[in-house]
Amino acid sequence: MKKIGDIAKYIRSKNAGPFWITIDIFCENDKDFNILKESKSLSEANIARLYNVDQKSVKIFPIRNLKTIKVSFPRPKPQGHKFENDMHSGQQYIQIAEAPV
């Protein structure tokens, strides 16, 4: 079974301020964009499950003209918290990259 990371051209995660994480999924063409946009792995419910956040707080923005899907959700701990272990959220894309399409 293909994973999101197999179809996406590039996936990155980063801070969206000290309280939010954003993950950008870049696609090479419209076909791949449409496949990923429709994937159940990129639903609010699944993102909430993967990152242990409230489903109502998950925001998903498919941006067709850029062939990009942006996913944002609250950080579990604010940036710089003494128990926070990914200061720049640079490793948070892995769960999505490994999710089935």
Q: Where are the beta strands (DSSP E) in 1-101?
A: 10-15, 20-26, 59-63, 68-74
User: Helix, strand, or coil here: 77?
Assistant: coil
With contact defined as beta carbons under 8 Å apart, do 68 and 24 qualify? yes
Residue 83 has what pLDDT?
66
User: Helix, strand, or coil here: 29?
Assistant: coil
Q: Which domain holds residue 84?
A: 4-97
Residue 81 has what pLDDT?
62
Residue 78 has what pLDDT?
63
Look at the pTM and tell me if it is higher than 0.75.
yes
Task: Name the domain count of the chain.
Answer: 1
Residue 91 has what pLDDT?
72
User: Helix, strand, or coil here: 31?
Assistant: helix
Residue 86 has what pLDDT?
64
Q: Where are the beta strands (DSSP E) in 31-90?
A: 59-63, 68-74
CATH code, 58: 3.30.980
Reading the chain (101 residues) residue by residue, the pLDDT tens digits are 899 999 999 999 998 888 899 999 999 999 999 999 999 999 999 999 999 999 999 999 999 999 999 999 998 776 766 666 666 676 788 899 999 99
Number of C-beta neighbours around residue 73 at 10 A: 24
Closest CA to 96 of 67, 66, 64, 58: 58
